[in-house]
Amino acid sequence: MFNQRKETPATQWRLALVLLLGGLPWTASAHHSFAMFDMQKDVTLKGTVKNFQWESPHTWLQVQVADGAGQNVEWSLEMGAPGMLYRNGWRQESVHPGDKVTVVIHPLRDGRPGGSVVSAILADGSHVGQSGSGSTPARSSAAGAP
């Protein structure tokens, strides 16, 4: 009828190990890298908060920044997960639409208005630290909106 082969505990462990290790590359590749950001460059933006999205896996800060011609440009700024932000001083109520902020970012390599937040000075003057996602300050190379 059926081939009733009994597997030994060692065979079961090997099978479990193969399944576990085989799934690891998929897990690691599910999270994107931060290669899109110029991690060697800091840009300081001064602007007005449009939106703050406190959600997993990444928090987002939308900031309106005046360009050289005085026109508002919306910058999309990626941040780490809420747990990482919390450990670095951020709270879900840290910023609100209309708040004035100064944000240090690693800009997008392609020049679009976006980046990875390194730190910020909030409307009340408080400083909040690194946003996670591998964002650490680079050499200070820019001030103001590019």
**Domain limits, the chain:** 43-128
Convert the pLDDT of each residue in 38-56 to its tens digit: 999 999 999 999 999 999 9
Classify 103 as helix, strand or coil.
strand
pTM assigned to the model: 0.69
Q: Which CATH architecture has domain 43-128?
A: Beta Barrel (2.40)
Phi and psi at residue 50, to the nearest 5°? -95, -40
- Could you tell me where the DSSP H helices lie in the chain? 9-29, 82-87
pLDDT grade for 7, boundaries at 50, 70 and 90: low
Q: How far apart are CA 67 and CA 80, in angstroms?
A: 26
For the CA atoms of 100, 102, 108, 113, what is the dihedral angle to 10 degrees? 30
- R_g (Cα) of the chain, nearest Å: 22
